[in-house]
Structure 1
Amino acid sequence: MKHPEIHEICKKHMYRYVSVTMTNGAVYDGIVENVDDDNLYLAVPIGGMDHEQMRAFLPYGGYPYPYYGYPYPGYGYGFGRRRFARQVLPLAGLLALSLLPYY
């Protein structure tokens, strides 16, 4: 495919869950966030990270402070999980783009 065709196909699939195959054989699936003249920006889902895995990054069971609610009493919810990571892919290396069912 030529570069303008790839750009138009990606634009047509904005905000949809797609599978992208690159010329080097790598396959990515995610939501098309943006397309510019050179790159495709995908929001790639991150695997489920449970509370035990979060402890490795945040002390005290996932809360950044030594005791519940500090420094804001009553809040104490900790930080939410990041569910997507941004993947930037060059349009020149794109081989195929196909829609995936979103579950």
Structure 2
Amino acid sequence: MEKHEMKKWCKDHKYRYVLAHTKDGWCCDGFVEHIDDEMVYLAVPHCDNQYDPRGFFPYPPLYPPLYPYPYYPRRRFYRQAFPLAALLGLSLLPFF
């Protein structure tokens, strides 16, 4: 697929939940956020359960903190950029 065809395909699927396939075999799911002449940007969901601290501390602390220290707001999505020339295709995914 040519670059201008892929750009039109991405514009048709803007703000939809898709699975992006690249020519090197890598796949990434997310929402199509922005498209320019060279890149497409996906908002990829962030999985916060990967690093569960309870695996390192099997017992609960005596005085649990009221908030995680240091406090910072957690992001639900992070931005991933893909070159239009490297995209092989997009697949629509159901979002529940």
What TM-score results when the alignment is normalised by the length of structure 1?
A: 0.73
> Residue deviations 1:15-65, cap 9 Å, x none?
110000000000000000000000010000111249x65xxxxxx65143x
Residues in 2 aligned to 1:49 and 1:86: alpha-carbon distance in whole angstroms: 19
Q: Percent same amino acid at aligned positions?
A: 47
Q: Which residue of 2 aligns with 1:5?
A: 5
Q: Which residue of 2 aligns with 1:90?
A: 83
Q: Which residue of 2 aligns with 1:37?
A: 37
Residues in 1 aligned to 2:79 and 2:45: alpha-carbon distance in whole angstroms: 9
Q: Which structure is higher in RCO with an 8 Å CA cutoff and minimum separation 6?
A: 2
Structure 1: unaligned runs, 5 residues or longer: 54-59, 65-77
Matches within 5 A, 1:1-103: 1-49=1-49, 53=53, 61-64=67-70, 78-103=71-96
Moved over 2 A (4+): none
Residues in 2 aligned to 1:95 and 1:17: alpha-carbon distance in whole angstroms: 17
What TM-score results when the alignment is normalised by the length of structure 2?
A: 0.78
Number of matched pairs: 84
